[in-house]
A and B are shown apart, each in its own frame.
Chain A
Amino acid sequence: GAVVSQHPSWVICKSGTSVKIECRSLDFQATTMFWYRQFPKQSLMLMATSNEGSKATYEQGVEKDKFLINHASLTLSTLTVTSAHPEDSSFYICSANRQLNTEAFFGQGTRLTVV
């Protein structure tokens, strides 16, 4: 069964609104989770590293004020897309590892469509 659960699996929102995506590790504690974005026919691109109890680390070119990350507990990280625009429409996926250098488990992904 899934070890990382992501919710919602899809969402449609209006331009200018905010959308929150949740990522939960189900049977292990994850001090670090990762958020990716994937555009059609492209690979996953790391957006940010979510660190429990501290600020997220954002990749170059990713606006931290637009993509708010909160990792308030060892099993939950949230990504909030603020003031969404149509160009933010994408597939957002989170991942976590049980231990260092081990397999990454991915959430089911969230398909965001901004209209």
Chain B
Amino acid sequence: RKEVEQDPGPFNVPEGATVAFNCTYSNSASQSFFWYRQDCRKEPKLLMSVYSSGNEDGRFTAQLNRASQYISLLIRDSKLSDSATYLCVVNQGASGSARQLTFGSGTQLTVLP
């Protein structure tokens, strides 16, 4: 089993649609969780951190379920500029150790006009 698994995608949605991505992780000791966005041939950039209570940033909502080891990202009113690959990222570093991020394979989103 992969340490971080994501919906394979690709997701092709019309502008204005709502789309949800899911992610599961295998290490129950994982410390922190993120969604990164990666545009083609570019480096990943942080979209948002994921907190236990769930958090929202504009059209983006992230949720974490530690019991099920499950993370989600919801994008509402999708825009053409949202087209990218979304990476679920889990930090499995223990306190005092070097930070190590484990990346999901990414879910490709294309928002169509």
Interface residues of A (CB under 8 A from B): 6, 32, 34, 42-46, 49, 51, 57, 91, 93, 95, 97, 100-101, 103-104, 106-109, 111
Shortest CB distance A31–B (Å): 9
Interface residues of B (CB under 8 A from A): 31-32, 34, 41-46, 49, 87, 89, 91, 93, 95-96, 98-106
Which among A57, A100, A109 is the interface contact of B42 at CB below 8 angstroms?
Answer: A109
Q: Would you give 14 A-B contacts (Cβ < 8 Å), ordered by A?
A: A34-B99, A42-B105, A43-B105, A44-B44, A93-B44, A97-B99, A100-B96, A101-B31, A101-B93, A103-B34, A103-B46, A103-B49, A106-B43, A108-B43
Distance in angstroms between the alpha carbons of A94 and B103 in the assembled complex:
14
Give 10 new A-B contacts, CB below 8 A, not counting A34-B100, A44-B103, A95-B101: A6-B43, A34-B101, A42-B105, A43-B87, A43-B105, A46-B101, A101-B91, A101-B99, A103-B49, A106-B43
Distance in angstroms between the alpha carbons of A57 and B100 in the assembled complex:
12
A residues less than 8 Å from B102 (CB atoms): 46
Distance in angstroms between the alpha carbons of A49 and B93 in the assembled complex:
12
Does the CB pair A43–B104 fall under 8 Å?
Answer: yes
Distance in angstroms between the alpha carbons of A42 and B104 in the assembled complex:
9
Known: A101-B31, A101-B91. A107 touches B99 (CB 8 A): no
